[in-house]
A and B are shown apart, each in its own frame.
Chain A
Amino acid sequence: MKRNCICIAMAALGVRAFGLTGEEILAKMDLNRDHATISARATMTIHIGNEVRTKSMVIKGMTKGNKSIVEFTNPEDRGAKYLMLDNNLWIYFPDEQDVVKISGHMLKEGMMGSDVSYEDALETDKLSAKYAISLAADDTVNGNPCHVINLTATVRDVPYYRRTMWVGKQDFIAWKEEMYARSGKLLKVSRVLAARKIGARQVPMKSEMENKLRADSKTTFEMTDLIFDAPMDEELFTIRYLRR
């Protein structure tokens, strides 16, 4: 009886210790992104063949209402702004002093010509709401032991039909992600190159995205001056502010 209890207890412990469900893993990832506001400076370096382009920007975001605004500060694009409100995107073109709403297939275009699409940037919904999740065998990425989870779309309104994520067992950062089309074709691969603990959160500070549909192309994205939960005026996230 005592031995049976111990065995049952150990088995239960074993399930809890090694058997996180896919949903639980995603929930722990979401904790890293749990904030009221975020502000940061960032640099996006776009490599296409031998060409390298660098874009610098200031990012501000508010979880309430899924709002964010990006203003470019590098000389070629100074004054260009992106406003994302929930799943809608507006772009301000400073040369034309005008705002255009981007929708439909245009959202699949790369931001400023990068490998990160507007769709990628707009994605804020919880993945568990749109994907069926299953666990695969554990793996290691850059020395980090990872859970491997497979996501298959359950709705039509997703940028990628299937995704595979390598999520760190200690930090619940998606160290690597592969994104696939319905046909099975690999579309993009993203990797986290560096992460940092800020408060209770593990935050990817430097990441890389490869668009497999474009030859010899990758984009690295690096954040600095990252501040969470600072007070922020909601007026920042309006089309009126975009035109200023």
Chain B
Amino acid sequence: MYYLILMAFRNIRRNTRRSLLATVSVALAVAFIVCMQGMIGGSLGSVVKNYTKNDTGHIRITTKAFQEKYRFMPVTENIVDSRSIIAALRNDPEIAAQMTTITERISFGVLLSNAGSNKTALALAGDPAVEENLLMLNRAIMPGGRYIRNERETIIGARIAQALGYHLGDTMKVMAQGSDYALHMRKFVIVGIFKTGLKMLDDAVFQIPLADARLLLRAGESSQQIIIMLDDYKRAERIAARIDARLANKDLAVMPWSRIGDYGRIITFANSVYSIIYLAVALLGAFIIGNIMMMVVLERRREIGVLKSMGFGRGEVLSLFIFEGMSLGLIGSIFGAILGATVSMVFHFHGIDFTKALSSVSMPMDNTVYFTISAAGLAQAAIIGIMVSALVSIVPSWQAARMNPVQAIKSV
């Protein structure tokens, strides 16, 4: 087998121009795949990051009744004993080692009114100290404002403030239907206005302390959600199952982020679709190798006849030509991976600004996308390039293998 590989590498040097054409084609395809992986990885990674920290956490614990009506954000289906659940999870060494944050939240919809204007908004209520590192809205507060320090204080999105004519220091009346189904109202002072660049936050969200939300909603000590953040979000499914087994409470729903709402399914689906796209791009790039191998087999009919008359079996001839195709693919893939990694590295540090494109889109995606690069991604792209090159070489190699040696030698 080793001698066949050596022969293959020698043979591709016999027509350097043709071999160069083939390797460049594969290199461009692989480079394109690496760049696409980087951009898609950066985009989807940003969606996962924002979606989990702003909405679902890596794992979310709620009542099953809440999970069924999740889209309506009900405040009537709360976890009554949330503190004991948090304590139980912190006391479990295996679970505690995986968690970076565990906290309580209540989210509910309201209709804000001011000066004759109305706007629907989403209240996010949590422990302000914890949310500094989770929601991180404090990092986007515009000059002149500050983060929440006391009860009855709120920070609101810049677009909400603009739509309703709110300014720093204004009092905002928040009216909502409570856990007792009755309407309640509580006043908050606007201490900060944030501008994250994410439309779905700036246009719709305001943050209040959890204690205030509980008073407003007559929720007692209950919480609507327990949010858990992990070291590695990819472990969410496994750890959620572990937590579910630990709590063993049939009224609770312990959900990893990938199974909450639509984004998890969208991201999984998107990854599958992009894998198919990568394959298609690689096929297009390697298609030229198939053409070249067809030409090579026709040109070297006599040589094939001589090899066979010297004792080369069908398998050896088949392997030789496949190795030649794979060699072209290997060289092209290596160069393509290097080229793609170089381009991705540039955009990894500088990013691409999609602010204008995303200005009317409500998605939890950062406006600037930073490409991602990984050794696994580069290896994946290179392997796709090599395997596809081998694939397109099969037909011409099979034709070479099936040739009758006498007929092949006679051919001119």
Return the CB mask of A93-108 against B: 1 if under 8 Å, else 0: 1011010101011100
Interface segment out of the listed A3-11, A34-42, A109-117, A229-237: A109-117
Chain B stretch 139-192: residues in CB contact (< 8 A) with chain A? 173, 175, 177-178, 180-187
Whether A93 and B184, one on each chain, are in contact in the complex, defined by CB atoms closer than 8 angstroms, is yes
Whether A110 and B173, one on each chain, are in contact in the complex, defined by CB atoms closer than 8 angstroms, is no
A53 close to B (CB within 8 Å): yes
B6 close to A (CB within 8 Å): no
B111 close to A (CB within 8 Å): yes
Whether B183 and A106, one on each chain, are in contact in the complex, defined by CB atoms closer than 8 angstroms, is yes
Measured in the bound complex, the distance between the Cα atoms of B7 and A132 in whole Å is 95
Distance between B151 CB and nearest chain A CB, rounded to angstroms: 13
Whether A93 and B185, one on each chain, are in contact in the complex, defined by CB atoms closer than 8 angstroms, is yes
Which residues from chain A contact B173 at a C-beta distance below 8 Å?
Answer: 96, 98, 100
Return the CB mask of B311-340 against A: 1 if under 8 Å, else 0: 000000000000000000000000000000
Interface residues on A, range: 20 to 34
Measured in the bound complex, the distance between the Cα atoms of B187 and A110 in whole Å is 22
A48 close to B (CB within 8 Å): yes
Interface residues in B, total, Cβ within 8 A: 14
Distance between B121 CB and nearest chain A CB, rounded to angstroms: 14
Q: Select which of B111, B181, B183 is within 8 A of A48 by beta carbon.
A: B181
Chain B stretch 105-128: residues in CB contact (< 8 A) with chain A? 111, 118
Q: Which residue of B lies closest to A53 (CB)?
A: B180
Measured in the bound complex, the distance between the Cα atoms of B180 and A114 in whole Å is 9
Which residues from chain B contact A105 at a C-beta distance below 8 Å?
Answer: 111
Q: Select which of B177, B180, B185, B186 is within 8 A of A109 by beta carbon.
A: B177
Most buried by A among B111, B177, B184: B184
Measured in the bound complex, the distance between the Cα atoms of B110 and A105 in whole Å is 12
A91 close to B (CB within 8 Å): yes
Which residues from chain A contact B111 at a C-beta distance below 8 Å?
Answer: 104-106
Q: Which residue of A lies closest to B76 (CB)?
A: A48
Distance between A189 CB and nearest chain B CB, rounded to angstroms: 18
Chain B stretch 46-83: residues in CB contact (< 8 A) with chain A? none
Q: Which residue of B lies closest to A80 (CB)?
A: B182
Distance between B208 CB and nearest chain A CB, rounded to angstroms: 14
Whether B183 and A109, one on each chain, are in contact in the complex, defined by CB atoms closer than 8 angstroms, is yes
Which residues from chain B contact A48 at a C-beta distance below 8 Å?
Answer: 181
Whether A98 and B181, one on each chain, are in contact in the complex, defined by CB atoms closer than 8 angstroms, is no
Distance between B379 CB and nearest chain A CB, rounded to angstroms: 55
Q: With A98-B173, A100-B173, A100-B175 known to touch, is A113 a contact of B180 (CB < 8 Å)?
A: yes
Which residues from chain B contact A96 at a C-beta distance below 8 Å?
Answer: 173, 185-187
Q: Which residue of B lies closest to A217 (CB)?
A: B181
Which residues from chain A contact B175 at a C-beta distance below 8 Å?
Answer: 100, 106
Measured in the bound complex, the distance between the Cα atoms of B287 and A239 in whole Å is 81
Q: Which residue of A lies closest to B178 (CB)?
A: A113
Measured in the bound complex, the distance between the Cα atoms of B118 and A192 in whole Å is 38
Q: With A100-B173, A106-B111 known to touch, is A91 a contact of B187 (CB < 8 Å)?
A: no
Distance between A204 CB and nearest chain B CB, rounded to angstroms: 24
Whether B182 and A112, one on each chain, are in contact in the complex, defined by CB atoms closer than 8 angstroms, is yes
Which residues from chain B contact A113 at a C-beta distance below 8 Å?
Answer: 177-178, 180-182
Which residues from chain B contact A53 at a C-beta distance below 8 Å?
Answer: 180
Which residues from chain B contact A104 at a C-beta distance below 8 Å?
Answer: 111, 118
Which residues from chain B contact A91 at a C-beta distance below 8 Å?
Answer: 183, 185
Q: Which residue of A lies closest to B216 (CB)?
A: A95
Measured in the bound complex, the distance between the Cα atoms of B181 and A41 in whole Å is 23
Measured in the bound complex, the distance between the Cα atoms of B184 and A111 in whole Å is 11
Return the CB mask of A39-81 against B: 1 if under 8 Å, else 0: 0000000101000010000000000000000000000010000
Measured in the bound complex, the distance between the Cα atoms of B182 and A114 in whole Å is 8
Distance between A18 CB and nearest chain B CB, rounded to angstroms: 44
Measured in the bound complex, the distance between the Cα atoms of B165 and A101 in whole Å is 19
Measured in the bound complex, the distance between the Cα atoms of B115 and A70 in whole Å is 27
Measured in the bound complex, the distance between the Cα atoms of B187 and A212 in whole Å is 33
Q: Select which of B177, B178, B180, B185 is within 8 A of A100 by beta carbon.
A: B185
Most buried by A among B175, B183, B186: B183
Measured in the bound complex, the distance between the Cα atoms of B336 and A54 in whole Å is 74
Measured in the bound complex, the distance between the Cα atoms of B184 and A91 in whole Å is 10
Which residues from chain B contact A93 at a C-beta distance below 8 Å?
Answer: 184-185
Measured in the bound complex, the distance between the Cα atoms of B186 and A95 in whole Å is 8
Which residues from chain B contact A100 at a C-beta distance below 8 Å?
Answer: 173, 175, 185
Measured in the bound complex, the distance between the Cα atoms of B117 and A104 in whole Å is 12
Q: Which residue of A lies closest to B173 (CB)?
A: A100
Whether B182 and A98, one on each chain, are in contact in the complex, defined by CB atoms closer than 8 angstroms, is no
Measured in the bound complex, the distance between the Cα atoms of B186 and A100 in whole Å is 11
Measured in the bound complex, the distance between the Cα atoms of B187 and A71 in whole Å is 22
Chain B stretch 184-226: residues in CB contact (< 8 A) with chain A? 184-187
Distance between B174 CB and nearest chain A CB, rounded to angstroms: 10
Q: Which residue of A lies closest to B181 (CB)?
A: A113
Q: List 22 A-B contacts (CB under 8 A).
A: A46-B181, A48-B181, A93-B184, A93-B185, A95-B186, A96-B173, A96-B186, A98-B173, A98-B185, A100-B173, A105-B111, A106-B111, A106-B175, A109-B183, A110-B181, A110-B182, A112-B180, A112-B181, A112-B182, A113-B178, A113-B182, A114-B181
Please name the 9 residue pairs, one residue from A and one from B, whose CB atoms are nearest each other, closest first: A113-B181, A113-B182, A112-B182, A93-B185, A113-B180, A96-B187, A96-B185, A100-B185, A109-B183
User: A residues near B, CB below 8 A?
Assistant: 46, 48, 53, 77, 91, 93, 95-96, 98, 100, 102, 104-106, 109-114
Given contacts A48-B181, A109-B177, A110-B181, 9 further A-B contacts (CB under 8 A): A93-B184, A96-B185, A98-B173, A100-B173, A102-B183, A104-B111, A106-B175, A111-B182, A113-B181
